[in-house]
Structure 1
């Protein structure tokens, strides 16, 4: 669970980066990321929604990721 992981790493003195599609992030999780000094990175597989969705095999994935 991401909340447990963030509690464990909070205050540790190393760079923390998390790769995510962003679709499961909510305000609480974003706040915890900031407090834990985690840098989230979001990946897109194409600048065109149709191509991204095709690659991910998930219609609407591009829009959900961009919204996140």
Structure 2
């Protein structure tokens, strides 16, 4: 896995949870929803023509929070 870039790892459908996820897994000065989509921010799902799609970001975050029981 280490020979792949983070983007390539994600494209393979793999994810990772850092050991210290509160320090290295989140950008703590961002809202949780924004931090959750950072790895995918360049996709059409969350931005278009360089502009963020806040409704899509919020919907994704809410779905992840529910699916993974994030508190």
TM surpasses 0.5: no
Larger fraction in strand: 1
TM-score, structure 2 normalization:
0.24
TM-score, structure 1 normalization:
0.25
